[in-house]
């Protein structure tokens, strides 16, 4: 049983659809980078308040899809090679932190 405030990153739907406090979209860019994104992924990027992204081949094109005032977080992960600016648990904590103060977060991962 949780007591006190419910974290804003937690959205509970009971009975009917409740307004979302935060939305974290997980987007896979695929081997084609931003050029292989679905329309739904592109829409998520165009409407995000914060963007958390891996090392993409053409990150300038990806950055061009997000609003100019979006907060950008380059986590620098490069697939499974173990190198990166931030470890996965730190990325997870960042997503929770951003969800606590933002409406829409988009996490883009390279395939």
| Predicted local distance difference test score (pLDDT) of residue 83 | 59
* pLDDT computed for residue 7 by the predictor: 40
Mean pLDDT of the chain: 75
In this predicted model, which residue has the larger pLDDT, 57 or 102?
102
Cβ neighbours, 10 Å, residue 101 = 13
CA–CA dist 53, 85 (Å, integer): 11
Answer yes or no: is pLDDT of 5 > 90.
no
pLDDT at 10 over 60: no
Q: Could you tell me the sign of the dihedral formed by the alpha carbons of 62, 66, 68, 74, in that order?
A: negative
31-62 pLDDT, tens digit per residue, is: 767 778 888 989 999 999 999 988 765 677 77
DSSP 17: P
pLDDT band at 4 (very low <50, low <70, confident <90, very high): very low
Question: Is the predicted pLDDT of residue 27 greater than 80, yes or no?
Answer: yes
> What single string gives the DSSP state of each residue in 20-76?
PS-EEEEEE--TTGGGG--HHHHHHHHT-SEEEE---TTHHHHHTTS-TT-EEEE--
């Amino acid at each position: 049983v949780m007591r006190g405030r419910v974290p804003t990153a937690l959205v509970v739907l009971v009975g009917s659809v409740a307004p979302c406090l935060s939305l974290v979209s997980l987007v896979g860019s695929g081997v084609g980078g931003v050029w292989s994104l679905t329309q739904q992924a592109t829409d998520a990027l165009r409407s995000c308040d914060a963007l958390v992204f891996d090392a993409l081949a053409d990150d300038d094109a990806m950055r061009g899809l997000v609003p100019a005032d979006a907060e950008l977080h380059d986590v620098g992960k490069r697939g499974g090679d173990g190198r990166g600016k931030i470890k996965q648990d730190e990325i997870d904590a960042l997503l929770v932190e951003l969800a606590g103060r933002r409406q829409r977060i988009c996490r883009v991962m390279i395939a």
